[in-house]
């Protein structure tokens, strides 16, 4: 099956069969997820494969007991984080050094630009300071392109969440490639899910993914897409 066949085949399955999913299938798909494109290679994601029976039951309830969660053979929770950039930055720089490829521009980027973008505080004081600086930068922006963010904590969350969503797509496509199905769910009580996973305030639950083999009646309707010309703009 080529890539475009996989894209056509992937559907959000709302009800799964009782067929088990081999652990190696899940792990292969998770490793594919980790190869996704991501901002500055900071890989600000975590994937929780819920194996504990009690946690799984609680997670299904937190997903409002919808069929996509209740009938899933496996449940994966995709989480984005704004508090892992320091650790991951050091690992990136260490890898560059070990390979003898740490150029001054790379070191400056990760030690100067990244902290300026990702450092934040709970009360938004740093964001307010960045906002003041950005007012002056806007004057320069009248004459040339300038960086315009992130300024606040929620801006950083937007970056890491977009990145994690890209990884989720890799995960789902990797399942299709192995003959299995999934359903990305946004319908859940995020506070309860965070409590189940013992997550802090510097994390965000991006989606819960149900995994399994589609039940014959698991896809609720034919795929519908609006006309291409409404969303594809050639200018």
How far is 202 from 69, CA to CA, in rounded Å?
25
Nearest in space to 15 (alpha carbons), one of 227, 234, 220:
220
pLDDT tens for the chain, 235 residues: list them: 799 999 999 999 999 999 999 999 999 999 999 999 999 999 999 999 999 999 999 999 999 999 999 999 999 999 999 999 999 999 999 999 999 999 999 999 999 999 988 987 777 777 677 777 777 777 777 788 877 778 788 899 999 999 999 999 999 999 999 999 999 999 999 999 999 999 999 999 999 999 999 999 999 999 999 999 999 999 9
The 10 Å Cβ neighbour count of residue 116 is 12
Domain 3-82+160-231 listed as CATH 3.30.413.10? no
* C-alpha to C-alpha distances, 7 to 12, 98, 172, 174, 176, nearest whole angstrom: 12, 38, 10, 11, 9
Look at residue 114 in the predicted model and tell me its pLDDT: 95
How far is 49 from 78, CA to CA, in rounded Å?
9
- Strand ordering across the sheet containing 203-212: 45-50, 74-81, 203-212, 181-185
Look at residue 222 in the predicted model and tell me its pLDDT: 93
Question: Which residues, in sequence order, are bridge partners of residue 80?
Answer: 45, 204
- Ordered by start, the domain boundaries in the chain are 3-82+160-231, 85-153
Pairing of strands 203-212, 74-81: antiparallel
Nearest in space to 45 (alpha carbons), one of 229, 211, 169:
169
Q: Tell me which H or E stretch contains 123.
A: none
Cβ-contact 62, 193 below 8 angstroms: yes
> Who's near 172: CB < 8 A, 6+ residues apart?
10, 29, 182, 184, 209
Look at residue 29 in the predicted model and tell me its pLDDT: 98
Question: Which residues, in sequence order, are bridge partners of residue 214?
Answer: 16
Look at residue 161 in the predicted model and tell me its pLDDT: 97
pTM of the model: 0.92
Look at residue 151 in the predicted model and tell me its pLDDT: 79
Helices (H), 53-211: 53-62, 67-70, 85-98, 104-108, 114-118, 125-140, 153-177, 190-197
């Amino acid at each position: 099956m080529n890539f475009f066949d996989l894209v056509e085949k992937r559907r959000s399955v709302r009800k799964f069969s009782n067929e088990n999913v081999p652990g190696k299938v899940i792990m292969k798909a998770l490793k594919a997820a980790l190869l996704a494109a991501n901002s500055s290679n900071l890989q600000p994601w975590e994937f929780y494969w819920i194996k504990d029976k009690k946690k799984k039951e609680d997670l299904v309830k937190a997903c409002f007991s919808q069929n996509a969660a209740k009938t899933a053979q496996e449940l994966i929770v995709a989480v984005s984080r704004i508090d892992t950039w320091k650790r991951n930055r050091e690992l990136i720089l260490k890898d560059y050094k070990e390979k003898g490829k740490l150029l001054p521009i790379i070191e400056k980027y990760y030690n100067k630009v990244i902290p300026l973008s990702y450092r934040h505080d709970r009360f938004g004081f740093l964001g307010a300071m960045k906002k003041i600086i950005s007012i002056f930068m806007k004057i320069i922006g009248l004459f040339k392109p300038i960086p315009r963010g992130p300024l606040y904590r929620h801006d950083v969350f937007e970056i890491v969440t977009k990145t994690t969503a890209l990884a989720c797509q890799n995960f789902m496509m990797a399942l299709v490639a192995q003959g299995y199905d999934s359903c990305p769910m946004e319908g859940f009580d995020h506070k309860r899910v965070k409590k189940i996973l013992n997550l802090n305030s510097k994390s965000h639950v991006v989606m819960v993914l149900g995994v399994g083999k589609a039940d014959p009646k698991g896809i609720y309707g034919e795929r519908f897409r609006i006309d291409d010309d409404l969303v594809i703009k050639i200018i």
